[in-house]
Structure 1
Amino acid sequence: MKRNLYDADHDLFRETVREFVTREVAPHRERWDEAGLIDRSVWSMAGSLGLLGIDAPAEYGGGAVRDYRYRMVVIEELCAADSASFNAGLSVQDDLVLPYLIELASPDQKLRWIPALCAGTAIGALALTEPGTGSDLQRVRTTARRTPDGWILEGQKTFITNGVLADVVVVFARTDADAGAGGFTLFLVDTTTPGFRRGRKLAKLGLRGNDTAELFFDDVVLRDADVLGAVGGGFGHLMERLPRERLSIAATSLASAQSAFDWTRAYTRERTAFGQRIDEFQNTRFVLAEIDTELDVAWAFLDRSIALLDAGELTAVDAAKAKWWLSDLQQNVVDRCLQLHGGYGYMLEYPIARAYADARIQPIYGGTNEIMKEIIGRDLVR
């Protein structure tokens, strides 16, 4: 099915992204996976080409283009090049951290951080999850207590993408134990601040090139100027921005599934068994036909969701549906594609094996798919 999502400007942008990925990303993927860390230099290269901060205001170094289709181009090209780890890092920067700063930061906070994040000379992280909390953010134990001069931040976060490289972290903390959902606040923490420290760089099943870490806040002294948004408004600020985060996960899921299918279609055309090409077996053709049709349907769904996001009409329920359905589809597609590779599909030298491992996090982070179904179900019976 031919997609009508993109116009000539998106196609020109894709050429830039593809050249960058081919030259600066793909040759280093294996080394990054082994190190569990991506070179900082590639971030600044991405920034210099305008691949970061696409919708950030021009006065802060952004592209000033409120059009998620450009982000979609970046996601598609990185997934096609088997560069899911770098995609994960960029997605946190552009779909999680920068929207908080663009929409909630004070003028001073914007001036300090947005230009550097857009240029790729600074890297951001979002610190929500804690040991024992997972998707239940109202149980977080990290606290920020008032002082005459500001705040003292104390606690621990885990599973933080970009945690090793981050220069600034958006931290979700409890500021009033008796205020329920109104008892949480967001803070901007410069990682050079005394009391901030990084724990382990976590060893993961997939996305092995991306740095995921534990973060600790040991009596970190903050000012009122480090509050992001409103005091007590942290939970609401998260809920307002979760649709974009979840759409980002959905977009990555579908782009990854499409790449897995494309690799598999080429593989079955090249490999032979019992004297004929693998794609000449009826079972292979049926599996490929099923996946191709499922992907066509899924792209139509995702393209509609992107249009809703750009129009400011993507609801939390819409985003939950996209995140759940497309991340589950990714699991199903990648599993069937690996099966068609036979024993080679189990070898890490083949991208389908790495895609299989990378895919498994998608139904978990950004809120588990069980939580997505709960959001949808509550809306149906409300």
Structure 2
Amino acid sequence: MSTPAADAQALPKPRLSHLLDVTAALAAHAETHDRTAELPVDGLAVVHEAGLLTLTVGTGYGGPGGTLADTVRTLTALGQGDPSVALISAMTLFAHAAQARTHGWPAELYAEVLAESAQRPTLINALRVEPDLGTPARGGLPATTARRTAQGWELTGHKIFSTGAAGLRWMQVWARTDEDPVRTGAFLVRTDTPGIEIERTWDHLGLRASRSDDVTFDRVPVAAGAVLGLGGQGGAFSPFAGGGEVVGRGDLRAWNALGIAAIYLGVAYAARDWLAGYLQERVPTNLGRPLASLPRFQSEVGAIQASLVSAGTLLTATAESEDPTHANLAKTVVTNAAIDAVQRAVALIGNAGLTRRNPLERHLRDVLCGRIHTPQDDVVLGAAGRDLLEGTAR
């Protein structure tokens, strides 16, 4: 059951009309965040103050009820400014979107989340990946275990690639119970609970400021009802909770696929814009005019633009339909178009594209991370091929 709308009246109002300003504010510090690999606290504050971190809080909770299309538009803008900020923000946006549709959080806990969100960035993420299991999207049970206690549960385990770990307020920790038969679910843990340790392990090629570090849980207490999707073994993968929820017109997994794609499309937009400026400003002495005036450069930039316009159109249309049927395919197509665009930009200008004083090499490192996110290309394309060959594709 949703909380009274009045509980969230103080949430900052989303200013979607100011997305260009937010992009510029994030871009101003993205290089520093990349070099220091520190959590981008200032960038997250910008997103919060623009009302974007709570964009997807449901109207039943007094929030704006941002749609999937709104979220894709927002994450594209954030990704264009600083994709590390965008990825951390995306996890919180997905959690609020899931709550608006499933009402899985206990009312009193979610009311607490909203009260804090009105005052400061309040970050949520689902922690699922483990050292031995890898990505749960490919099957298997977590080693992280929830043991029954008189007060509820006691959580012990180890999660890796926990985006924004040091800045999170709430973790949705995928774990198995010690029961027979085993059940799995996402246990809701506030990060000031005793027994949680964050180990700074993230040292990555791209999205360096996303601080996707390791988190260990040593007999962490969890209230009896603070569990999402507690059910039978495994279940369909969901980045939002413990199982595979299907709500209304769309599977919530479409939010993950399209939201992630939006971030990397934003990175490609940033690379394209920098490339255009560089070509307009670069005047070799032997040429006496900007590189932008040469047909070869015009043609290649045109090809990049054609690819990105097509990818953006596909992403927007899929998000607006809220039909999950083609969401995974759209993620694959859009992400690969973004990667190809940045690689072509680097190839076009040579050494300048890989020089650290220019942002293009950072955009290249960041955009390559798009291939890593679930759902990965081999899974998506394999499923699409099987559906078509078996006559079940739509």
Using the size of structure 1 for normalisation, the TM-score is 0.85
Matches within 5 A, 1:1-382: 13-23=15-25, 25-40=26-41, 42-58=43-59, 60=61, 62-64=63-65, 66-81=66-81, 83-95=82-94, 97-102=95-100, 103=102, 104-117=104-117, 119-135=119-135, 136-175=138-177, 183-232=183-232, 235-236=235-236, 238=238, 239-240=244-245, 241-273=252-284, 274-275=286-287, 276-309=289-322, 313-315=323-325, 318-380=326-388, 381=390
Give, in angstroms, the shift of residue 161 of structure 1: 0.5
Give, in angstroms, the shift of residue 74 of structure 1: 2.6
Tell me what 2:6 maps to.
Answer: none
One-letter amino acid of the counterpart of residue 88, structure 1: L
One-letter amino acid of the counterpart of residue 323, structure 1: K
Which 4+ stretches in 1 moved above 6 angstroms? Answer: none
**Which segment is superposed worse, 321-330 or 108-117?**
108-117
**Which segment is superposed worse, 184-193 or 41-50?**
41-50
Q: Distance in 1 between matches of 2:372 and 2:331?
A: 10
Supply the RMSD in Å over aligned alpha carbons. 2.6
Closer/same/farther in 2, CA of residues 125 and 137 from structure 1, 3 Å limit: farther
Q: Deviations over 1:88-122 (max 9, x none)?
A: 11112112x22343322121222122343465432
Give, in angstroms, the shift of residue 126 of structure 1: 1.6
- CA contact 1:268–1:340 (8 Å) conserved in 2: no
SS at match of 1:272: coil
Q: Distance in 2 between matches of 1:114 and 1:203?
A: 32
Q: Distance in 2 between matches of 1:226 and 1:233?
A: 19
Tell me what 1:9 maps to.
Answer: none
Q: Deviations over 1:126-185 (max 9, x none)?
A: 201111323334242112233343222121110111111111101111226876xx8321
Q: Distance in 2 between matches of 1:351 and 1:332?
A: 17
- CA contact 2:265–2:338 (8 Å) conserved in 1: yes
Q: Distance in 2 between matches of 1:356 and 1:39?
A: 20
- CA contact 2:141–2:176 (8 Å) conserved in 1: no
Give, in angstroms, the shift of residue 77 of structure 1: 2.8
Q: Distance in 1 between matches of 2:254 and 2:205?
A: 26
One-letter amino acid of the counterpart of residue 202, structure 1: W
**Which segment is superposed worse, 187-196 or 281-290?**
281-290
**Which segment is superposed worse, 297-306 or 40-49?**
40-49
Q: Distance in 1 between matches of 2:42 and 2:274?
A: 29
Closer/same/farther in 2, CA of residues 51 and 59 from structure 1, 3 Å limit: same
| Number of positions where the alignment pairs a residue of Structure 1 with one of Structure 2 | 360
Q: Deviations over 1:280-328 (max 9, x none)?
A: 334323322222222222222112111122xxx223xx12101111111
The sequence identity of aligned pairs, in percent, is 24
SS at match of 2:131: coil
Q: Distance in 2 between matches of 1:366 and 1:225?
A: 28
Closer/same/farther in 2, CA of residues 292 and 35 from structure 1, 3 Å limit: closer
Give, in angstroms, the shift of residue 28 of structure 1: 2.8
Closer/same/farther in 2, CA of residues 263 and 177 from structure 1, 3 Å limit: farther
- CA contact 2:148–2:178 (8 Å) conserved in 1: no
One-letter amino acid of the counterpart of residue 277, structure 1: P
Tell me what 1:6 maps to.
Answer: none
**Which blocks of at least 5 consecutive residues in structure 2 are unaligned?**
1-13, 239-243, 246-251
One-letter amino acid of the counterpart of residue 221, structure 1: P
Q: Deviations over 1:3-50 (max 9, x none)?
A: xxxxxxxxx944423334434x33333332333223535534432331
Closer/same/farther in 2, CA of residues 377 and 145 from structure 1, 3 Å limit: farther
Q: Distance in 2 between matches of 1:172 and 1:338?
A: 40
- CA contact 1:124–1:166 (8 Å) conserved in 2: yes
- CA contact 2:72–2:316 (8 Å) conserved in 1: no
- CA contact 2:57–2:64 (8 Å) conserved in 1: yes
- CA contact 2:40–2:84 (8 Å) conserved in 1: no
Closer/same/farther in 2, CA of residues 219 and 197 from structure 1, 3 Å limit: same
- CA contact 1:129–1:137 (8 Å) conserved in 2: no
SS at match of 2:375: coil
Closer/same/farther in 2, CA of residues 250 and 162 from structure 1, 3 Å limit: same
